[in-house]
Amino acid sequence: MAKAKNNTLKLNFDTKWGYSPAPESKSIAKIEAKYDLFINGKFEKPLSKKYFDTINPATEEKLSEVADANAADVDKAVKAARIAYNNVWGKMPAKERAKYIYRIARMIQERAREFAVIESLDGGKPIRESRDIDVPVAANHFFYYAGWADKLQYAFPNRNPKPLGVAGQIIPWNFPLLMAAWKIAPALATGNTVVLKPAETTPLTALKLAEIIQESELPAGVVNIITGAGATGAAIVNHSDINKIAFTGSTDVGKIIQRAVAGTNKKITLELGGKAANIIFDDAPIDQAVEGIINGIYFNQGHVCCAGSRLFVQESVFDEVIRKLKDRLETLIVGDPLDKNTDIGAINSKQQMETIHKYLKIGEKEGAEMYQSNCPLPKKGYFIRPTLFTNVAQSSRIVQEEIFGPVLTVQTFRTDDEVIEKANNTPFGLSAGVWTDKGSKIFNLTTKMRAGVVWANTYNKFDPTSPFGGYKESGFGREGGLHGLSAYLNVH
Ligand code: ADP
């Protein structure tokens, strides 16, 4: 260890004291040169005849090319889903449906390593995250909802729950496989059929999932997975034979979608942006809290809607928390997502990296004090040093707007009321964190915070049994748990 110029401890990455590389092998990842659209149980060439590249954001190398579905392709997928709903899936006894969902869950587990490697290659997230969180939690969602399939009468007693029909599902790039599982598993368990579109920068694990679905012998057309960018998503949203739209993504696109479905019969759930407050009281276990803050914003490159991007520290422990945060920042390893030592992988795309750089400049212009770790960055690929801003105002754009990168703003507070007011002063309301020794404070804050999820003395914990979703501009509707079932049912 050496002393960095700002008096914090610095890991000496270049010397013998640094970690040796521990890369996960790529050999397990079977990636085709080209992927077609998964429609009606088969991989079909796109009617658009167009393909686009998906690249590895850590190396900028092309991984594969995937089909760019147009409106005619979307129509073909929706027709397949409708026929499968009318003829097979809608009629199948629920306990039979459950068997397929269990089978998909088990197959994800069997191929977990391959999924994890492909997720890290295509999306840039550290293998530790994709291996320990994304893939197992995705499998858990299928297991959990498989269990509900034949118990809907118990979930909604005396209510006669009925499926909606065809669900159009559009997901973002931050948790490609996990978001697909969040969307597909409850839809299937409740008897709906699906047309799902992954994000254009991270299509590969959804296409792998399509391979599993094919191998599982799920009846053709029950799940259709089509690739493309915003225009493909819009074609799904505007298709007249879709009964439900489930969207996770940016607040801007969420608003477009909400306008597009207004006045139609489509049911809709939106899970949008966030700007979560993470609050440390002076009675909190500070070391654990600092680790929780680091986990909440920096692991995963800040690419989580629920990232704890606004830190509020009680004034009396401000100096201690900042010192410890900076020390910890210096030990974070930014680099190859496939290396098991890596804490912070690649930013998902060049465009996103530019957005983050734009916000770093805005922060400095607004007069905030920026601190970045001194870690070396790889020469190629899209990487950003973990960053924290102090001396920010409640009205600063970096405090108010979602950055979606490893960037934390830090503010102070004195009283509970003050921090509740500050934490709620945002257009978003997806999640929040509270660190304190006092149960009473936790209850006081959790009842007053306008956020869908509030973690206490932990952060970023996901479980299929617990509902997730937002307040205000973070969206509406819940995914996960019983709530996640009702989003795909008519309950009379
Ligand atoms: P992010 O900022 O997380 O990339 P986006 O909202 O841009 O969020 O993208 C999330 C998903 O929405 C992606 O699958 C994207 O292709 C899709 N999408 C983008 N624009 C539209 C649109 N106008 N209508 C429907 N889907 C869209």
Annotated catalytic residue 306: no
Residue range 277-456, CATH number:
3.40.309.10
Annotated catalytic residue 375: no
Give pLDDT tens digits for 32-84. Answer: 999 999 999 999 999 999 999 999 999 999 999 999 999 999 999 999 999 99
Query: Of these residues, 119, 271, 473, 479, which one is catalytic?
Result: 271
Residue range 34-272+472-490, CATH number:
3.40.605.10
Mean pLDDT for the stretch of residues 416-427: 93
Which atom, in ligand 1's list, is nearest to the CA of 254?
6
Which atom, in ligand 1's list, is nearest to the CA of 200?
16
Q: Is the pLDDT higher at 353 or at 13?
A: 353
Q: Is the pLDDT higher at 85 or at 9?
A: 85
- The CB density around residue 489, as the number of other CB atoms within 10 Å, is 23
Residue that has been written with the tokens 């909440």 in this structure: 296
**Residue 257 C-alpha to ligand 1 middle, in angstroms?**
10
Query: Contact at 8 Å (CB) between 246 and 258?
Result: no
Q: Is 259 exposed, middle or buried (0-12, 13-18, 19+ CB in 10 A)?
A: exposed
Mean pLDDT of the chain: 93
Question: Closest by alpha carbon to 419, among 387, 451, 388?
Answer: 451
Residue nearest to ligand 1 atom 27, measured at CA: 230
Q: Is the pLDDT of residue 1 over 50?
A: no
Q: Is the pLDDT of residue 7 over 70?
A: no
Which atom, in ligand 1's list, is nearest to the CA of 199?
14
Instruction: Read off the pTM.
Output: 0.94
Mean pLDDT for the stretch of residues 83-97: 97
**Residue 252 C-alpha to ligand 1 middle, in angstroms?**
9
What are the angstrom distances between the C-alpha of 168 and each of 41, 247, 248, 474? 17, 8, 12, 20
Share of the chain above pLDDT 90, in %: 84
Residue that has been written with the tokens 């959990």 in this structure: 144
Query: Contact at 8 Å (CB) between 416 and 444?
Result: yes
Counting ligand 1 atoms within 8 A of each CB, the residue from 125, 170, 245 with the most, and so the one to mutate, is: 170
Q: Is the pLDDT higher at 135 or at 10?
A: 135
Q: How confident is the model at residue 17 (pLDDT cuts 50, 70, 90)?
A: low
**Residue 273 C-alpha to ligand 1 middle, in angstroms?**
12
Q: Which helix (H) or strand (E) holds 205?
A: helix 204-215
Distance, in Å, from the CA atom of 152 to the CA atom of 144, rounded to the nearest integer, reads 13
Q: What is the pLDDT of residue 260?
A: 97
Question: Closest by alpha carbon to 291, among 301, 282, 280?
Answer: 280
Give the lowest-confidence range in 83-92, 219-228, 292-301: 292-301
Q: Is the pLDDT higher at 102 or at 304?
A: 102
**Residue 249 C-alpha to ligand 1 middle, in angstroms?**
6
Q: Is the pLDDT higher at 429 or at 245?
A: 245
Q: What is the pLDDT of residue 427?
A: 86
DSSP 318-386: HHHHHHHHHHHHHHPPBS-TTBTT-SB---S-HHHHHHHHHHHHHHHHTTPEEEE------SSS-----
Q: Is the pLDDT of residue 248 over 80?
A: yes
**Residue 408 C-alpha to ligand 1 middle, in angstroms?**
24
Residue nearest to ligand 1 atom 2, measured at CA: 250
Mean pLDDT for the stretch of residues 182-187: 97
Q: How confident is the model at residue 492 (pLDDT cuts 50, 70, 90)?
A: confident
Query: Of these residues, 129, 305, 473, 479, which one is catalytic?
Result: 305
Q: What is the pLDDT of residue 371?
A: 97
What amino acid occupies position 420? I
Q: Is the pLDDT of residue 14 over 70?
A: no
Residue nearest to ligand 1 atom 19, measured at CA: 230
Which atom, in ligand 1's list, is nearest to the CA of 260?
24
Mean pLDDT for the stretch of residues 16-39: 90
Q: How confident is the model at residue 353 (pLDDT cuts 50, 70, 90)?
A: very high
Give the lowest-confidence range in 141-150, 237-246, 356-365, 422-431: 422-431
Residue nearest to ligand 1 atom 26, measured at CA: 233
Question: Closest by alpha carbon to 181, among 196, 201, 162, 166?
Answer: 196
At what angle are helices 251-261 and 230-238 packed, to 10 degrees? 30
Q: What is the pLDDT of residue 478?
A: 87
Q: Is the pLDDT of residue 258 over 50?
A: yes
Q: Is the pLDDT of residue 5 over 50?
A: no
- Domain ranges across the chain: 34-272+472-490, 277-456
What are the angstrom distances between the C-alpha of 63 and each of 28, 194, 355, 487? 14, 27, 24, 35
Strands (E), 209-347: 223-225, 244-248, 267-271, 277-280, 310-314
Q: What is the pLDDT of residue 88?
A: 98
Which atom, in ligand 1's list, is nearest to the CA of 197?
14
Residue nearest to ligand 1 atom 14, measured at CA: 199
Which atom, in ligand 1's list, is nearest to the CA of 229?
16
Query: Contact at 8 Å (CB) between 424 and 449?
Result: yes
**Residue 315 C-alpha to ligand 1 middle, in angstroms?**
40
Give pLDDT tens digits for 274-285. Answer: 899 999 999 999
**Residue 431 C-alpha to ligand 1 middle, in angstroms?**
21
Q: Is the pLDDT of residue 474 over 90?
A: no
Q: How confident is the model at residue 11 (pLDDT cuts 50, 70, 90)?
A: low
Give the lowest-confidence range in 52-61, 206-215, 257-266, 472-481: 472-481
Q: Measured in whole angstroms, how far is the alpha carbon of residue 182 from the centre of its chain?
A: 10
Share of the chain above pLDDT 70, in %: 97
**Residue 170 C-alpha to ligand 1 middle, in angstroms?**
7
Distance, in Å, from the CA atom of 130 to the CA atom of 300, rounded to the nearest integer, reads 9
Ligand 1 pocket: which residues have CB below 6 Å?
170-173, 197, 199-200, 229-230, 233-234, 237, 249-250, 253, 256-257
Residue environment code for 264-293, b if the CB has 16+ CB neighbours within 10 A, otherwise e: eebbbbbbbbbbbbbbbbbebebeebbebb
- The CB density around residue 61, as the number of other CB atoms within 10 Å, is 12
**Residue 468 C-alpha to ligand 1 middle, in angstroms?**
20
Which atom, in ligand 1's list, is nearest to the CA of 198?
14
Q: Is the pLDDT of residue 29 over 60?
A: yes
Mean pLDDT for the stretch of residues 362-373: 96
Mean pLDDT for the stretch of residues 105-123: 98
Mean pLDDT for the stretch of residues 267-280: 92
Distance, in Å, from the CA atom of 226 to the CA atom of 233, rounded to the nearest integer, reads 10
Residue nearest to ligand 1 atom 17, measured at CA: 230
